[in-house]
Structure 1
């Protein structure tokens, strides 16, 4: 979580492993595109900066955040994919739709990760406003895409250690 004391783009070097041969699927929600494309840019650049090969970063789009879980399942089922990063943004509205979508996506992504025993990362913003989303997609609080990519890398590193 981004706060005055923690920027989403800051990370430690613990559990950072060699990812030169790892293959990453990055799923991007088309809904709130200004935000999600910025999240992808952060995730992509972080993967490249940490040693991922451009040809090993595969980008796919889904209509909205709700569809991230199904796409993650399809991609996690592929043996050649080492980690899946799900990027989306659900902004609080006036109805309970926000609660249902966020809950379903969080559970869905967790279930896919457990089913396929590989990192499937929740890089979904759940802000109250568009400005809060922008602040967390490359703005004053850093970029959740950076955090999602580092999380995938660290989980792969932990898996190697275990």
Structure 2
């Protein structure tokens, strides 16, 4: 058994591994893309609602920041598709997978920030501006546990023996 086989648990070439990892990555991106695109689409409609004019300056600032974060998340999560299209057939799939993985990680972080900012805005409007810090913090902790804590714990538990 080669060093590579011991590390991956599979008998595959670098290209085969890149193909497999690309397929897995693109499935993950599809889930995140759908969520960010729906959220971003809703965010884009807010400014055209009658209630928008009644928002405080702080709430309008939160909204603008949220839209920018949503646009950045959308770009990062769609980036791997464009990357694949532009480098396809150039024999750089292992490098493309690494770059797409970084884009996806950045996109997930930006999605977390977008969802957090959206939640702040929605709860501020829904509660008349009363403090929402604890509610938002609890949800963000939940996101961090689900998106990062459990996966990192599982990776550590199952790869260090």
TM over 0.5: no
What is the TM-score with the length of structure 2 in the denominator? Answer: 0.27
Structure with greater proportional strand content: 1
Structure with greater proportional helix content: 2
Q: Which has the larger radius of gyration?
A: 2
